[in-house]
Chains A and B, each alone.
Chain A
């Protein structure tokens, strides 16, 4: 059979950007027809949104579950895979997909890799790339003995497929038992008045500040410079700053005119949330820090020394 099955992702009735990135990756791979599955209680409107150039067929899969259910998603995709026999199944490397994609690979013995950043055919063999050891090393993976492979692709690597496509739309209804159920959505919170996505100038701090007491100083510096303070994940995990300030995949995606990063090494999830900023300036003591890979300007300096000098200027 062959072809690529893309699993669409959506939250609160909106198709997520990663879905259209998966379509681009599928088209680029060129492994036969591209089918996209949209799984929801009422998949109609989402199926229309998923009909983008590059898609040959949209399957609107109606299920009896609100929000996301891992059991339901798993049952629906298993059924589609057995009916359509795609050679490649693509999902995002996302929280929802982490709930079912590895389970499907284990259940029906698929080749599997996640956080994939490149996909190609080498001869007939599927070859993908992903990072190891804090992205200091990249690996090529292959899948000997597997005719069918499930790949979870890293968000923001492929450009989203835009526009209106001309795919056929078909309907499918999948009944399944779910052992979990959605109760409600809540915003990870605190400081509801701050919207870091609206700022033109973000001054962001990370693990490099070392201790909680140092945060005040950078807060004051941000104010003096006319910037909004953002933080990377470790400061939120430590309970030092509210989640509303967090830049990155699990926090907010920001695109200010200027992003000034102090003591942020640049985890993949952080970079995904800020790499499209207009001008990125990074200060870090580690010359190997990944943030320098996306920064336009960089300084390998002690952040407190630079802060002190900036305090004199503002």
Chain B
């Protein structure tokens, strides 16, 4: 059994921001990086399915520059077997369709029984890559899943789609399939120091993307969004704040 997990090294912005000279992106000096939170749940889920089956391979695939290997190493340290990175320097930001095209060739070549992706990435929040990838692979797909019961022998899975408003839609889906994983589906394990060291020895193959075609969208400019009126501040003295909260609550509930 083989499970492919698609992961992303996401970028986070601190309190300050500067834009690149062309105004279309954020100056990389202002960004910090980490494994996308959703992808750590997807990796954990793949490891659990492998463990329940008593064997198999978990392959981590990412489209990104060399830094993305940090995120992949995290997944390898959690227990994934190997990685494939698609050199992603040419993949435009804000274009999950092109990202999916870059991933598709590699994922197709792996011939996986299941493909897991995070629902979305914390930096772009498009919620689109996994579903677009499924289409390019010709596979069925289920988005925003909180529970998987995978039946390898029957080549199907019962999945819980997390709808809005606290409703869960239980579906049966044929596999291979692409399933996008929601946070909270499991508790991602911490990698031990030893596992982190061992992960350094695991293989990450680097491949060049094929022809990606024109982007589905291009960033024209980035800017800091205007802030609203903002809240009336209650001060920074805890006792005074508590007094004011009590007063406001009593007024409003009267």
Which of A's residues lie within 8 Å of B, judged by CB?
11, 16, 67-68, 70-71, 74, 93-96, 98-107, 109-115, 127, 130-146, 152, 155, 179-188, 200-201, 225-226, 233, 236-239, 243-244, 246, 249-253, 257-258, 260, 268, 278-283, 288, 292-302, 305-306, 308-310, 312-314
The one of A131, A155, A268, A278 that contacts B225, using a Cβ cutoff of 8 Å = A131
- Chain A min CB distance to B182 (Å): 8
Contact between A250 and B164 (Cβ–Cβ < 8 Å)? yes
Give the complex CA separation of A137 and B214 in angstroms.
25
Give the complex CA separation of A130 and B241 in angstroms.
35
Contact between A143 and B217 (Cβ–Cβ < 8 Å)? yes
- Chain B min CB distance to A19 (Å): 13
Contact between B162 and A95 (Cβ–Cβ < 8 Å)? yes
Contact between A103 and B131 (Cβ–Cβ < 8 Å)? yes
Q: Is B15 an interface residue (CB 8 A)?
A: yes
Q: Is B64 an interface residue (CB 8 A)?
A: no
Q: List 30 A-B contacts (CB under 8 A).
A: A11-B167, A68-B169, A70-B143, A74-B135, A94-B164, A98-B128, A99-B143, A102-B130, A106-B132, A106-B136, A112-B97, A132-B93, A135-B225, A137-B223, A139-B94, A142-B217, A143-B216, A155-B164, A184-B170, A187-B168, A249-B165, A252-B165, A258-B252, A281-B248, A292-B230, A295-B231, A296-B232, A297-B231, A297-B248, A306-B241
Contact between A145 and B214 (Cβ–Cβ < 8 Å)? yes
Q: Mark B114-156, 1 if CB is under 8 A from A, else 0.
A: 0000010011111111111111100011111010000000000
On chain B, the residues within 8 Å of A138 by CB distance are: 222-225
Give the complex CA separation of A281 and B248 in angstroms.
9
Contact between A99 and B96 (Cβ–Cβ < 8 Å)? no
Known: A249-B164, A258-B249. A102 touches B128 (CB 8 A): yes
Contact between A250 and B239 (Cβ–Cβ < 8 Å)? no
Q: Is B13 an interface residue (CB 8 A)?
A: yes
Known: A99-B142, A135-B225. A299 touches B169 (CB 8 A): no
On chain B, the residues within 8 Å of A107 by CB distance are: 135
Can you name the residue of chain A whose Cβ is closest to the Cβ of B245? A281
Known: A250-B166, A306-B241, A313-B242. A139 touches B126 (CB 8 A): no
Q: Kindly list 7 other residue pairs between chains A and B, CB separation below 8 angstroms, not including A140-B223, A185-B167.
A: A95-B161, A101-B128, A113-B217, A139-B220, A145-B214, A184-B170, A313-B243
Known: A101-B131, A180-B142. A133 touches B164 (CB 8 A): no
Give the complex CA separation of A115 and B125 in angstroms.
7
On chain B, the residues within 8 Å of A250 by CB distance are: 162-166, 182
Q: Is B246 an interface residue (CB 8 A)?
A: yes
Known: A70-B142, A140-B219, A297-B248. A98 touches B243 (CB 8 A): no
- Chain B min CB distance to A277 (Å): 10
Contact between A114 and B127 (Cβ–Cβ < 8 Å)? yes
Count class of interface residues, chain B: 35 or more
Contact between B163 and A11 (Cβ–Cβ < 8 Å)? yes
Give the complex CA separation of A131 and B226 in angstroms.
12
Can you name the residue of chain A whose Cβ is closest to the Cβ of B221? A140
Can you name the residue of chain B whose Cβ is closest to the Cβ of A298? B231
Contact between B249 and A293 (Cβ–Cβ < 8 Å)? no
Give the complex CA separation of A229 and B172 in angstroms.
35
Give the complex CA separation of A146 and B218 in angstroms.
11
Contact between B248 and A112 (Cβ–Cβ < 8 Å)? no
Known: A11-B163, A309-B241. A112 touches B96 (CB 8 A): yes
Contact between A98 and B230 (Cβ–Cβ < 8 Å)? no
- Chain B min CB distance to A156 (Å): 11
- Chain A min CB distance to B27 (Å): 11
The one of B11, B235, B241, B243 that contacts A133, using a Cβ cutoff of 8 Å = B11
- Chain B min CB distance to A256 (Å): 9
- Chain B min CB distance to A130 (Å): 8
Contact between B94 and A141 (Cβ–Cβ < 8 Å)? yes
On chain A, the residues within 8 Å of B161 by CB distance are: 95, 99
Contact between B234 and A278 (Cβ–Cβ < 8 Å)? no
Give the complex CA separation of A296 and B94 in angstroms.
33
Give the complex CA separation of A136 and B93 in angstroms.
16
Give the complex CA separation of A98 and B181 in angstroms.
12
Can you name the residue of chain B whose Cβ is closest to the Cβ of A243? B166
- Chain B min CB distance to A202 (Å): 11
On chain B, the residues within 8 Å of A236 by CB distance are: 184
Can you name the residue of chain B whose Cβ is closest to the Cβ of A181? B172
Known: A137-B222, A301-B238. A115 touches B252 (CB 8 A): no
Known: A98-B180, A113-B94, A300-B233. A183 touches B171 (CB 8 A): yes
Can you name the residue of chain B whose Cβ is closest to the Cβ of A295? B231
Give the complex CA separation of A14 and B235 in angstroms.
45
On chain A, the residues within 8 Å of B29 by CB distance are: none
Q: Is B4 an interface residue (CB 8 A)?
A: no
Contact between B253 and A306 (Cβ–Cβ < 8 Å)? no
Can you name the residue of chain B whose Cβ is closest to the Cβ of A304? B238
Contact between B166 and A260 (Cβ–Cβ < 8 Å)? no
Interface centre among A106, A182, A187, A280, by most B CB within 10 Å?
A: A106
